Amino acid sequence: MGEELQVPDEVVVPTPVEVRNAGDLWDVLREAVTQLGAGFVAWLPLLLLAILVLVLALIATRYAIRGVERGLRRARVDDTVQRLVTTLLRVALVIGSTLLALSIAGISVGAALAGLGLAGLALAFALQNILENFVAGLLILIRRPFHRGDQIISGDFEGTVEDVDLRVTRIVDYDGELVLVPNATVFTEPLINLTRRGRRRTRVTLGIDYRDDHDAAGRILREATAAVEGVLASPAPEALVTALGESSVDFEIRYWTDPDIRTVRHTQDRVLRACKTAIEGAGMTIPWPIRTLAPDKDALSVRRPERETLGE
């Protein structure tokens, strides 16, 4: 047979405290408060030490952040990247300081981390869109498709980039209105940076009468455009025939300017004025639409019905 299970001779089972009257209840409460107070007094030195360590760690964090900010400014790092680095560093140092203080106070850090992990998982599902924008903001700040002050087109929005944080990209449109575009939208949709290359080409169309000298007209348009303030000398302006319209030979004038929208629009105004003046000064014509109406004689002629001749 197998070995027999050995049962201890005496099993001590704690008996609950019997509360028969109000005096017994008061004794139980007093004993519980006494034990709690004794435990708190024994834990108090660790608590004070943890608070002291936390305060010193937070002060050290503050000075560390200032040192990092000065280093980034000396390295001429972009302001947005500076804020990102300092924010992430501050959060990491504060969390580390708090965990260190909890460990000194005798609190299980592993349990706290497990709780933070579960809370973080729940928040990840609840705040999916916010986290998506957060990750997109990090990728934008790392890849740097634009800087503060650049003029961009993102989806249906166009304007000057004012700032990029970890949730939205702030764009001021040309009417002075602030547009907050989610970072996920900026990162996933096509993006046009209008000012990154340092110059921008503009095209305008001008029609010349069919009876004018078009070779001379092209030369006049190029010279008039090149003399306009704001037009860059290189690449040189061009004036190309692009269409034979209903009432004119259409020239497309191409020229380069500085990329900001104010320069582009004001230079375009000056170019159109200069080209019109130059063409008219050379005795040429910028025709307006002409329509020639040719009447249909057959349709306009009225055929009278023949009268029937009645016999007598």
Give the tens place of pLDDT for each residue, 10-31.
Answer: 544 445 555 455 555 666 666 7
Cβ-in-10-Å burial (0-12, 13-18, 19+) of 248 comes to: buried
Q: What is the pLDDT of residues 153-200, one digit of tens each?
A: 998 899 999 988 878 899 999 999 999 999 999 988 899 999 999 999
Query: Closest Cα partner for 131 from 80, 183, 181?
Result: 183
* Residue 199 DSSP class: -
CA angle 217, 219, 224 (to 5 degrees): 95
pLDDT at 8: 47
What is the mean pLDDT of the segment spanning 189-214? 93
Number of residues that this document lists for the chain: 312
Instruction: Measure the CA–CA gap between 141 and 139, rounded to whole angstroms.
Output: 5
Is the pLDDT confidence value at 118 over 70? Answer: no
pLDDT at 115: 63
Phi and psi at 273, nearest 5°, equal -65, -45
**Which pLDDT does position 96 carry in this prediction?**
82
CA dist 161 and 153 (Å) reads 10
Residue 46 in this model has a pLDDT that exceeds 50: yes
Mean pLDDT of the chain: 80
Q: What angle do CA 151, 157, 159 make, to 5 degrees?
A: 25
Q: Regarding beta strands 191-193 and 200-208, do their DSSP bridges make them parallel or antiparallel, or are they unpaired?
A: unpaired
Of 114, 190, 191, 101, give the one whose Cα is nearest residue 147.
191
Q: What pTM was computed for the model?
A: 0.62
pLDDT at 276 > cutoff 60: yes
How high is the pLDDT of residue 28?
A: 62
Residue 84: the pLDDT is: 74
Rounded to whole angstroms, the Cα distance separating 275 from 207 reads: 11
pLDDT for 89 equals: 83
Q: Which of residues 252 and 117 earns the better pLDDT score?
A: 252
* pLDDT at residue number 199: 94
CA atoms of 220 and 283, how far apart (whole Å): 11
148 secondary structure, DSSP code: T
> Please, are residues 209 and 285 in contact by the beta-carbon 8 Å criterion?
yes
Whether 137 shows a pLDDT value over 50: the answer reads yes
Q: Per mean pLDDT, which of 101-105, 106-110, 235-239, 290-294 is the most reliable?
A: 235-239
Average pLDDT over residues 239-256: 94
- Per-residue model confidence (pLDDT) at position 289: 76
Cis peptide before 235 (omega within 30 of 0): yes
**Average of pLDDT values for 203-207?**
95
- pLDDT bin (cut points 50, 70, 90) of residue 5 is very low
Q: Residue 228 gets which letter from DSSP? A: S
Nearest residue to 166 (alpha-carbon basis) of 91, 90, 244, 88: 88
